[in-house]
Structure 1
Amino acid sequence: MKRVLPPTNLFLAFEAAARHRNFSRAAEELGISQPAVSRAVASLEEAIGVKLFLRSGPSVRLTTRGAELSGLMSNSFDAIEKLIASWKDKESGRKPVLLSISSSMAAHWLIPRLFDFRLAFPDVDLRFELIAGGVGQSPVRADLGLRRFPETSKAPPESHFLDEIIQPVAALDYIKRMGTLDQPRRNRTHTLITLSDHWCDWDTFARLAGLELPPNHKTMVFSDYSVALQSALNGQGIVLGWLSVTSRLLRYRSLLAASDRGFNTRATFNFILGDQTPVGGVVGEVREWLCAEVGKDVAKIGKGGRLHSFECHVLVS
């Protein structure tokens, strides 16, 4: 029986536009022009008699029915990609594990460990679903995902990765030139690196940690935490460091604590299995390895219930 559907290329254009929320980026992915994407979406809307996008200048957003169709198509394409990948993996004999973490954790915490990971799991093909910004509590569509649980939420105890601990950190070169927040160099002005639109800015941190910010300090504002950390690594200022991302940097002295003030938010970071991921097996072993690795970091920089970065201490309230 013949399917009564519009041409497939119209659906492909719509799916890309919906995923990117941008016709130009969809066109770039598909290798066609932006007007061609716009015409394809308009043709699909006309064929099915439903408005899929609300257009306002260069920006577009999905209608309720557009979001419904987009979700269905994304899930279908994900399933097709996963099926094809499984065929390839069976032929190669490798076991794929899809890991959902923040881009900053991938860049500064996990990628430097990939050599050790491959030694521990030579038959595992580790893949990434990277999240820009905080990981939050969004559903885990990957095999394994790091998520943040507030104090009031309960996460499976076996999934615990690390408490949310925040501390000011900076490169050794910066501290030698400028001093710490507690002992600044005379006639020097600190630069505080911060994230835009984040719940924990420097004023919030100072209030919660009991820290007096230096007067007349300069600021550098970034929208991406990985870039903010890289700026601190380059000796350009002091950044608020989330231990779940900075533990390796502290362990190997790429960054040092820039104050003896810090605090535990009582939230936790946990590695949660995806809905379709079986308990145990290779994914469970990968989770155990990740948790063991951060444990090694904390053991190196921790002492007597306090976190410290060698000569610089961070108090955890």
Structure 2
Amino acid sequence: MVKHTKPDFALLKLPSLHAIRTFVAAARYQNFTRAAEALCVSQAAVSRQIRDLEEDLGTELFLRAGRSVELTSAGSLLFDTVQLSLGNISRTTERIRGKSGAKKTITLCCSPAFARFWLAPRLRGFITQNTDIDVNIITTHSFFSLDPGLTPDFFITKWKRVHDGYTSQPIFSDVIYPVCSPGYLEENPDANNLNGILNGSLLNLTHHGRSQVDEHVDWNLWFAYQNADIKERPADAIQLLTNDYGTIIDLALDHQGVALGWNYLVAPLIEKGLLMRPVRESMALSDTLHFLSMRDDLTEDECSLRLHAWVLEQVRQMEESVLNR
């Protein structure tokens, strides 16, 4: 006689995983239309799933206010629980997919300048040697307010603690010095000394929108470090200002002035002869450290460990190059 399994009421009482996924999207974006776009379904489908889930649980999960929605206390309780559970499910399934032969995608978050000048020129070597890994680079100046649902595997920032669940280690500190193109120095030979730089065309970095990147170092601070006063510049001296470091370097490469160069960013351009140091004075900030942060749940993930080791090796080679220069 066949013995039938008794109904598992604990499993039967669980809400639909499809409805839970829809609920998480709506809670993250606080808008049913944006949740629908994120899930590639209609807004009506999201509304229906949320309504069915609320009826199943016997309570409202959202307060509706026009186009936006806000979690109720019950909704907040559910969101805190299921977001963690779905995150664990996602990471586990990705790990299984990785073992089944699919390529592993590793997400690294850093500033636009770091991605452009430090990471990008080196990344080809890693990709060539690790064909089973795709690298997803996310750039931002707002490390503490990332898009909902974005959980990078790695951060490279000047913050030791960016988010919970990461372990950080220092990788290098800042050394800052003037840089210009050889063409600019040829046209402005007086720029081979501090007074000539002070009176010449300065490319200056403003702090707007960069509060989560680092402490602000501009020409005013750098000259003060050298016991010089930027206020002594001639009234008609040229100064170009921008809050984007990439633009600063583009202007320097276009022979438009002298910029402050962060060694880890401009060293490759100096080695190629595109930029040069017109003077030897520098500003060393030994207490301003850059940190490599890795998610704690990746300590046994072989692909992530490879990227971690590669970054550390690139830092070692960079520091060795500086010592030998």
What's the TM-score bracket when you normalise by the shorter of the two chains? 0.5 to 0.7
SS at match of 1:276: helix
CA offsets per residue over residues 172-191 of structure 1, 9 Å max, x none? 44444454672538985433
Give the one of 121, 135, 141 matched to 1:133.
141
Amino acid at match of 2:117: H
Give the TM-score normalised by the residue count of structure 1.
0.64
For residues 1-317 of structure 1, what are the structure 2 equivalents within 5 Å? 1-4=12-15, 7-8=19-20, 10-11=22-23, 13-17=25-29, 29=38, 48-49=59-60, 74-92=83-101, 94=103, 97-119=106-128, 121-128=129-136, 130-133=138-141, 142-148=152-158, 159-178=169-188, 179=191, 182=194, 184=196, 189-197=201-209, 198=211, 199-202=215-218, 203-213=220-230, 214-216=233-235, 217-222=238-243, 224-257=244-277, 259=279, 260-278=281-299, 283-302=304-323
Q: Give the direction of change, closer, same or farther, for the CA distance of 1:102–1:189 in structure 2 (3 Å limit).
A: closer
Q: Give the direction of change, closer, same or farther, for the CA distance of 1:281–1:13 in structure 2 (3 Å limit).
A: closer
Q: Which runs of 5+ in 1 are unaligned?
A: 151-157, 309-317
Once residues 105 and 96 of structure 1 are traced to their aligned partners in structure 2, the CA distance between those partners, rounded to angstroms, is 20
Once residues 182 and 197 of structure 2 are traced to their aligned partners in structure 1, the CA distance between those partners, rounded to angstroms, is 14
Q: Give the direction of change, closer, same or farther, for the CA distance of 1:74–1:3 in structure 2 (3 Å limit).
A: closer
Amino acid at match of 1:163: S
Aligned residue in 1 for 2:4 = none
Once residues 204 and 311 of structure 2 are traced to their aligned partners in structure 1, the CA distance between those partners, rounded to angstroms, is 31
CA offsets per residue over residues 147-171 of structure 1, 9 Å max, x none? 4357xxxxxxx94421122334344
Give the TM-score normalised by the residue count of structure 2.
0.62
Contact 2:108 2:153 in 1 (8 A): yes
Amino acid at match of 1:184: G
Deviation at 1:239, TM superposition (A): 3.9
The count of residues paired between Structure 1 and Structure 2 equals 287
Contact 1:108 1:246 in 2 (8 A): yes
| Structure 1 or 2: more strand by fraction | 1
SS at match of 1:92: coil
Once residues 72 and 242 of structure 2 are traced to their aligned partners in structure 1, the CA distance between those partners, rounded to angstroms, is 34
Q: Give the direction of change, closer, same or farther, for the CA distance of 1:117–1:301 in structure 2 (3 Å limit).
A: same
Contact 2:24 2:83 in 1 (8 A): no
Deviation at 1:11, TM superposition (A): 1.8
Deviation at 1:116, TM superposition (A): 1.5
Once residues 80 and 72 of structure 1 are traced to their aligned partners in structure 2, the CA distance between those partners, rounded to angstroms, is 13
Contact 1:23 1:37 in 2 (8 A): no
Once residues 67 and 61 of structure 1 are traced to their aligned partners in structure 2, the CA distance between those partners, rounded to angstroms, is 9
Deviation at 1:72, TM superposition (A): 5.2
Once residues 176 and 25 of structure 1 are traced to their aligned partners in structure 2, the CA distance between those partners, rounded to angstroms, is 55
Contact 1:166 1:241 in 2 (8 A): yes
SS at match of 1:130: strand
Amino acid at match of 1:85: E
Contact 1:10 1:40 in 2 (8 A): no
Deviation at 1:200, TM superposition (A): 1.0
Q: Which runs of 5+ in 2 are unaligned?
A: 1-11, 161-167
Q: Which has the larger radius of gyration?
A: 2
Deviation at 1:61, TM superposition (A): 9.1
State percent identity of aligned pairs: 19
Q: For structure 1, which segment, 181-190 or 37-46, has the greater mean C-alpha deviation from structure 2 after superposition?
A: 37-46
Contact 1:163 1:266 in 2 (8 A): yes
Q: Give the direction of change, closer, same or farther, for the CA distance of 1:124–1:255 in structure 2 (3 Å limit).
A: farther
Q: Give the direction of change, closer, same or farther, for the CA distance of 1:200–1:193 in structure 2 (3 Å limit).
A: closer
Once residues 232 and 125 of structure 1 are traced to their aligned partners in structure 2, the CA distance between those partners, rounded to angstroms, is 35
Amino acid at match of 2:240: T
Once residues 67 and 207 of structure 1 are traced to their aligned partners in structure 2, the CA distance between those partners, rounded to angstroms, is 51
